[in-house]
Structure 1
Amino acid sequence: MKNLRKSMILGIALVFVLSIILAACGNKAEGKTLIWGRGADTKSLDPAQVTDGESLNVTRNIYDTLVDYKDENTEVGPALAESWKTSKDQKTWTFNLKKGVKFQDGTDFNAEAVAFNFERWMDKKNPYHKGGEFPYYGYMFGGYKGDKGHVIKSVKAVNKNTVQFKLNEPQGPFLANIAMPAFAIASPKAIKADPEGLGKKPVGTGPFKFESWKKNDTISLLKNKDYWKKGYPKLDKVIFKSMPDNSARFTALKSGEIDVMDGLNPDDAKTVEKNNELKLAEQQGMNVGYLSFNMSKNTPVKDKKVRQALNYAVDKKSIIKSVYSGLATPSINPMPDSIWGFNKQIKDYPYDLKKAKKLLKEAGYGKGFKLELYAPSDPRPYMPDGRKVAEVIQSDWKKIGVDVKIVSFDWQTYLDKTGKGQHEAALFGWSGDNGDPDNFLYVLLDKDNTRTPNAGNISFYKSEPLHKLLMKAQRSTDKNERTKLYEKAQKIIKDDAPWVPLVHSTPGIAYQTYVGNGNFTHPINYSKLAQVDIKK
């Protein structure tokens, strides 16, 4: 009996030891796994339904676009389309597609698939126009089929490997627009099976295919062994892990729990540089963090003098010092000076409380007023700590009699409420998608993009003079002409003051030294991971 008991104990112990060994082997069986720590969860995995970086950073690795940005800049090069040509009036674009490419469900990628996706996005009467509002399509192409100003007239398959776009008007940024990750091509078979389900179970042609999604925790992607770029991806698995607290995420990086992290606290950048096991990548600051006044609300900010006064009462240098640790520059215009068309002649509103008080008095608010200010609770590349930024502004505005109530929500709720215009004022930001001024000025400040529930222009600012300039610039294919028009547009925006442009940040991405080939400094901050490797 004693021997039997001993045997049982030994057996249990052996099973326990073997389970540990098998678990370890199981982890090794994952091969090269990259764990990316990030500040918030994804909204949807259907790229046409989202505008947030947390979603697009994942979908960019599941899907491909017709054309893509080059590794070193925002110039456009081939992707699913090998080559293209345009008519003399630039209203007809013809793309020659790569042959032999398959979607991750085994179906063929072809011209019909491209036409199917664009028809789904543009036509609200299309039976597969489901799952959301397709906001980016409206932002970039002047609305939807039937809307005045809609850019794309038709998309048709000429043959299996040739697709042709007919435009109602030429569009200067057309090629740059279709390179955006929002316009990646999804499997028609998957869409037809469940158009709304694509947001949870994506199917593209990209380097990684979807494995699982645990809400507010992890999204796991597996290597697409049949990827059309031979030799890629290098990784076997990618896990995007949501960790809202920047400091906790940095601790996880230092301990080796994660391999890469974005949303690095500016103060931690110096720590990374001193750590021999970590590397720091500083992205090109093609972004803007701003404070938006909701001009559709019946509050004092409907008055231009009030908006100008509040601009005078924000100490941007203090924000940069206390929140960004110097890793940002003051914003003068709604886009950074790294974008062509930036108006260098415009002067910013200086920090001048006397001037601010004078304007408030002229507007009839000499005794001040109350204002509710939304501040994001989750870190963003353009705003690592929205609450702290709000508190600096709250302190500044109190000096001129404006009593600010700060309100915060989780990121998905924040997007929903601001997109519907429920705020009085809100801290927000934008990371450039394609290197074109249109992507900042038209998307964020034109009257076309005040459509709810996914307004890009959350100021609900509607200026007819500005709209005319932006439309003329968008329809021009002459870069010099477009530059002059955008310079004029920025003058109007500065005077009307629908925003307080705050900063252009230099977002930091920290990663382990064994992570190789990560192009983490690209101005488009949705990271492509096909070329990334782990070298231990």
Structure 2
Amino acid sequence: MPPVVGYSYIGWNQVRAGKPTRFADKRVRQAMSYLTDTSRIIKDVFLGYAEPAVSPFGNASKQHDSALQPYQANLDKAKALLKDAGYEDRNKDGVLEDKAGQPFEFKLTYFQANEDTSRMVLLLKDLYAKAGVKLVPFPQEWPVMLENLDKKDFDAITLGWTSSIETDLFQAFHSSQAISKGDNFIGYQNQELDKLIDAARRTVDEGKRMPLWQQAERILYEDQPYTFLMRRKSLLFVDKRIHNLQMTKLGLNLGSLPLENYVPLAQQKYTQ
């Protein structure tokens, strides 16, 4: 898949009202990724028109470490991680509680007008319930979502980012951006990652820069500040009269230069 294809994710808010949330614990975030059966989401919701995302870097990107594989659904691993983090079903009601007796319940915010996302959230609710985690679907209108992102007033949220030929991690994951109205709206901070991002951004030599990005990717893979979901595939229908269509490293050259598309004069039907 071309490296410029964006990705969807679930962002786990680690700080709310100035206090750490349950998602500040890396074990909890890892558990949530093991509970998120991305392969099933792709099959049942998106009818196979997607591929799992490992990180912000696509599989075709030089920034990507090919040794990293998508998290696979694993209920037993998820339960073990949650137990290690202090969550057990103490009152036998089917929902995990922390050591203080508070149930593991959270709202997943999503854009209410997207039907595919709505179906995905309902599937996730069932998947998480198998481990005793209660997901409460929380659909919102777009302006309300943006306002809550700016205020960091949410439990978890599912959204997407675009990608580029070389994706810069600074905006979404650098600690300096975990500020009011900053795009690190989940409050994720990792000083080792910050150093790698800073170093990669000032390294001109590609042969030295790409290993830095790959080290950064390995940290994100371990920390799971997002549960990386998928990269969508496109199903395109193009009139056979259109010539010079080619699949490039950046995807189909539909409407792009320097490989311009055209219809031969003898087959043209429209003049304007």
1:73-152 aligned within 5 A = none
| Residue 373 in structure 1 maps to residue 108 in structure 2 | yes
Distance 2:241 2:158 in 1: 34
What do the CA deviations read for 1:50-76 (whole angstroms, capped 9, x no partner)? Answer: xxxxxxxxxxxxxxxxxxxxxxxxxxx
Structure 1 residues 451 and 518 mapped into 2: Cα distance closer, same or farther (>3 Å)?
farther
Match of 1:429, SS state, is strand
Which one-letter code corresponds to 1:483 in the other structure?
M
Which one-letter code corresponds to 1:462 in the other structure?
Q
Which one-letter code corresponds to 2:165 in the other structure?
G
RMSD, aligned CA: 3.0
| Residue 387 in structure 1 maps to residue 118 in structure 2 | yes
1:43-442 aligned within 5 A = 286-297=5-16, 298-367=20-89, 368=96, 369-379=104-114, 385-432=116-163, 434-438=164-168, 441-442=169-170
Match of 2:8, SS state, is strand
Residue equivalent to 1:495: 222
Distance 1:448 1:507 in 2: 35
What do the CA deviations read for 1:472-506 (whole angstroms, capped 9, x no partner)? Answer: 00000011111111111111111111111111111
Question: Cα distance, 1:318 vs. partner?
Answer: 0.4
Distance 1:493 1:322 in 2: 27
What do the CA deviations read for 1:235-289 (whole angstroms, capped 9, x no partner)? Answer: xxxxxxxxxxxxxxxxxxxxxxxxxxxxxxxxxxxxxxxxxxxxxxx98762111
TM-score (norm 1): 0.42
Structure 1 residues 364 and 519 mapped into 2: Cα distance closer, same or farther (>3 Å)?
farther
Distance 1:430 1:507 in 2: 16
Structure 1 residues 396 and 520 mapped into 2: Cα distance closer, same or farther (>3 Å)?
farther
Distance 2:7 2:74 in 1: 22
Residue equivalent to 1:67: none
Between stretches 282-291 and 443-452, larger displacement belongs to: 282-291
What do the CA deviations read for 1:184-233 (whole angstroms, capped 9, x no partner)? Answer: xxxxxxxxxxxxxxxxxxxxxxxxxxxxxxxxxxxxxxxxxxxxxxxxxx
Question: Cα distance, 1:323 vs. partner?
Answer: 1.4
Match of 1:338, SS state, is coil
Does the 8 Å contact 1:289/1:427 carry over to 2? yes
Does the 8 Å contact 1:300/1:306 carry over to 2? yes
1:32-51 aligned within 5 A = none
Which one-letter code corresponds to 1:319 in the other structure?
I
What do the CA deviations read for 1:67-110 (whole angstroms, capped 9, x no partner)? Answer: xxxxxxxxxxxxxxxxxxxxxxxxxxxxxxxxxxxxxxxxxxxx
Distance 1:419 1:494 in 2: 25
Does the 8 Å contact 1:516/1:535 carry over to 2? no
Structure 1 residues 467 and 535 mapped into 2: Cα distance closer, same or farther (>3 Å)?
farther
Does the 8 Å contact 1:288/1:334 carry over to 2? yes
Residue equivalent to 2:178: 450
Does the 8 Å contact 1:320/1:329 carry over to 2? yes
| Residue 472 in structure 1 maps to residue 194 in structure 2 | no
Distance 1:495 1:483 in 2: 19
| Gap regions ≥5 residues in structure 2 | 90-95, 97-103, 263-267
Structure 1 residues 504 and 395 mapped into 2: Cα distance closer, same or farther (>3 Å)?
same
Residue equivalent to 1:112: none
Structure 1 residues 409 and 481 mapped into 2: Cα distance closer, same or farther (>3 Å)?
same
Distance 1:373 1:535 in 2: 50
Count matched residues.
Answer: 245
Residue equivalent to 2:101: none
Does the 8 Å contact 1:283/1:508 carry over to 2? no
Distance 1:457 1:524 in 2: 29
Which one-letter code corresponds to 2:12 in the other structure?
F
Question: Cα distance, 1:410 vs. partner?
Answer: 2.5
Structure 1 residues 519 and 366 mapped into 2: Cα distance closer, same or farther (>3 Å)?
farther
Distance 2:106 2:243 in 1: 47
Distance 2:213 2:3 in 1: 22
Distance 1:315 1:429 in 2: 18
Question: Cα distance, 1:521 vs. partner?
Answer: 7.6
Task: Decide which structure has greater strand share.
Answer: 1
| Gap regions ≥5 residues in structure 1 | 1-281
Does the 8 Å contact 1:285/1:506 carry over to 2? no
TM-score (norm 2): 0.79
Structure number with greater Rg is: 1
Distance 1:293 1:510 in 2: 37
